[in-house]
């Protein structure tokens, strides 16, 4: 084994992990703006970046652009890069113009990029300075969406982590509350709210909220459940504020959703009979919807390239609920605590890898001859050209897939590429 790859043992799960370092094929954290700007209706994302950053956002969000999009790019040009212009003065001008034109903005994120990091533009200081001038009407925060050493879902993690210090402290006499952490489609949030209400768990709040002006309180009486596996930094800062994470698998598929809800129910002392009553119908619906895809997917071999950080929960779902065989599950980062419950559920023979050396991984993939590869956009076309069916991992983040009523849609995402390839063969 070379210096670029080492085998580790994941604590809590007796399985080796191949850790690789090398060239990677991933999107950057700016991508998160595509779903975050739709989620928080009074927030605006101002990327401080290059024309490349602007192109990325335009093409990723192209079909979703409304008359007044809630994101834009302040372009750093050659004069800024050469240190010939005062980038801070230019940024102040852009922000003043933006806030004047858009009185609907309640929260402005300055989003760092590779170019802003390269010229060492201090966006933390800029955000503080602009916050002073824009408050009390507008809060100005910052986070980095740079693609240097990150993957695309880290953009959401960085954005939510930036919100945590802004959350009000819970009142000393506040009742115990549950916080669901991770951007979810509103339809999914509403379904979860109903199940938690039936379980007698509440108040239940969500981070991010639908309006940035309605940030939920946090403190020692807050329990939180992660709805996404890529929120390591957000979880860390919530814990710093006194909140307690409830460990659970992620709410993907019938089983995953039940185990996720049960972790909260156990922490809140919900009696088993009440739990069954509140979840049985949803779980049955989900199992039936997923079951309709089983014939197409059972026995198919799937290979995951590291991209979304959803790879391990997805592999668990595909293996346990659809009978697929995960050959290798690659993930950009393996958070051993947050994924402990997932790792326990993965089939024993599944190879795990963390990080990426793309050429070596492609060699392993070709040698394994999988039926389906889950990967980023950059690898999908070349693999399709080689005759391998692929699923874009970014779709797993763009599509509402969490919870009972989305379990069938989640299974369908994996059926479609195999179906398409079968038709092409005819």
**Which pairing describes strands 351-355 and 325-331: parallel, antiparallel, or unpaired?**
parallel
* Residue 15: exposure state from Cβ atoms within 10 A (0-12, 13-18, ≥19): middle
Give the three-state DSSP class for 426. coil
Residue of 114, 199, 345, 397 that binds ligand SF4 (CB under 6 A): 114
Residue of 6, 52, 88, 399 that binds ligand SF4 (CB under 6 A): 52
Report if residue 256 touches ligand SF4, rule: CB under 6 A: no
Q: Which of 60, 55, 67 is nearest to 36 (CA)?
A: 60
Burial 75-106 (b: 16+ CB within 10 A, else e): bbeeebeeeeeebbebbeebbeebbeeeeebb
The minimum distance between CB 361 and ligand SF4, in angstroms, equals 20
- In contact, 18 and 5? CB cutoff 8 Å: yes
The minimum distance between CB 365 and ligand SF4, in angstroms, equals 24
Token look-up 């460990």 returns 247
Q: Which residue is nearest to ligand SF4 (CB)?
A: 147
Report if residue 76 touches ligand SF4, rule: CB under 6 A: no
The minimum distance between CB 113 and ligand SF4, in angstroms, equals 4
Residue of 26, 56, 162, 179 that binds ligand SF4 (CB under 6 A): 56
* Residue nearer to ligand SF4 on the CB measure, 268 or 333: 333
Residue of 13, 30, 134, 185 that binds ligand SF4 (CB under 6 A): 30
How far is the C-alpha of 42 from the C-alpha of 106, rounded, in Å?
Answer: 5
* Residue 269: exposure state from Cβ atoms within 10 A (0-12, 13-18, ≥19): exposed
Rounded to whole angstroms, the maximal C-alpha distance in the chain is 69
The minimum distance between CB 45 and ligand SF4, in angstroms, equals 13
Give the helix/strand (H/E) hosting 396: helix 394-398
* Residue nearer to ligand SF4 on the CB measure, 45 or 404: 45
* Residue nearer to ligand SF4 on the CB measure, 24 or 391: 24
Report if residue 53 touches ligand SF4, rule: CB under 6 A: yes
Report if residue 390 touches ligand SF4, rule: CB under 6 A: no
The minimum distance between CB 55 and ligand SF4, in angstroms, equals 8
DSSP 170: P
Q: Given the rule CB under 6 A, which of 44-52, 194-202, 350-358, 417-425 is the region that contacts ligand SF4?
A: 44-52
Report if residue 399 touches ligand SF4, rule: CB under 6 A: no
Could you tell me if residue 407 is left (phi over 0), alpha (psi between -120 and 50 degrees) or otherwise beta? alpha
By rule CB under 6 A, what string of x and - marks binding of each residue 118-157 to ligand SF4? ---------------------------xxx----------
CA atoms within 13 A on the CB side of 97: 9
* Residue nearer to ligand SF4 on the CB measure, 107 or 114: 114
Report if residue 407 touches ligand SF4, rule: CB under 6 A: no
Q: Given the rule CB under 6 A, which of 47-55, 85-93, 174-182, 221-229 is the region that contacts ligand SF4?
A: 47-55
* Residue 241: exposure state from Cβ atoms within 10 A (0-12, 13-18, ≥19): middle
Residue of 36, 37, 40, 49 that binds ligand SF4 (CB under 6 A): 49
Beta-carbon contacts of residue 220 (< 8 Å; ≥ 6 apart): 170, 242, 243, 244
Query: What is the contact surface with ligand SF4 in residues (CB under 6 A)?
Result: 28, 30, 49-50, 52-53, 56, 113-114, 145-147
């Amino acid at each position: 084994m070379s210096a670029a790859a080492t085998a580790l043992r994941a604590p809590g799960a007796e399985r080796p992990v191949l850790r690789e370092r090398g060239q990677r094929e991933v999107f950057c954290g700016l991508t998160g703006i595509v779903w975050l700007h739709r989620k928080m209706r009074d927030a605006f994302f101002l990327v401080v970046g290059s024309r490349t950053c602007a192109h990325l956002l335009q093409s990723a969000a192209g079909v979703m652009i409304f008359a007044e999009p809630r994101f834009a790019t302040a372009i750093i040009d050659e004069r800024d890069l050469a240190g010939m212009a005062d980038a801070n003065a230019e940024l102040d001008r852009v922000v003043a113009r933006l806030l004047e034109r858009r009185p609907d903005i309640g929260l402005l994120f300055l989003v760092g990029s590779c170019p802003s990091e390269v010229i060492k533009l201090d966006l933390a200081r800029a955000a503080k300075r602009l916050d002073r001038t824009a408050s009390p009407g507008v809060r100005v925060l910052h986070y980095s969406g740079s693609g240097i050493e990150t993957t695309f879902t880290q953009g959401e993690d960085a954005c939510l982590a930036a919100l945590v210090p802004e959350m009000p402290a819970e009142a000393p006499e506040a009742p115990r509350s549950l916080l669901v952490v991770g951007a979810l489609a509103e339809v999914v949030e509403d379904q979860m709210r109903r199940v938690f209400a039936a379980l007698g768990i509440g108040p239940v709040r969500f981070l991010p909220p639908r309006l940035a002006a309605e940030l939920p309180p946090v403190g020692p009486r807050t329990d939180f459940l992660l709805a996404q596996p890529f929120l390591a930094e957000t979880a860390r800062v919530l814990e710093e504020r006194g909140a307690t994470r409830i460990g659970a698998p992620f709410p993907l598929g019938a089983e995953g959703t039940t185990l996720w809800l049960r972790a909260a129910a156990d922490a809140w002392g919900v009696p088993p009979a009440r739990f069954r009553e509140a979840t049985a119908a949803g779980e049955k619906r989900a199992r039936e919807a997923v079951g309709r895809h089983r014939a197409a997917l059972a026995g198919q071999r799937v290979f995951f390239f590291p991209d979304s950080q959803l790879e391990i929960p997805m592999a668990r779902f595909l293996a346990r609920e659809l009978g697929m065989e995960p050959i290798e599950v690659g993930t950009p980062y393996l958070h051993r605590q947050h994924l402990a419950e997932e790792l326990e559920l993965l089939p024993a023979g599944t190879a795990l890898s963390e990080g990426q050396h793309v050429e070596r991984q492609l060699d392993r993939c070709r040698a394994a001859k999988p039926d389906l590869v889950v990967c980023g956009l950059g690898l999908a076309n070349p693999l399709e050209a080689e005759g391998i069916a692929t699923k874009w991992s970014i779709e797993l983040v763009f599509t509402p897939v969490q919870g009972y009523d989305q379990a069938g849609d989640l299974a369908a995402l994996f059926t479609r590429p195999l179906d398409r390839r079968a038709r092409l063969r005819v």
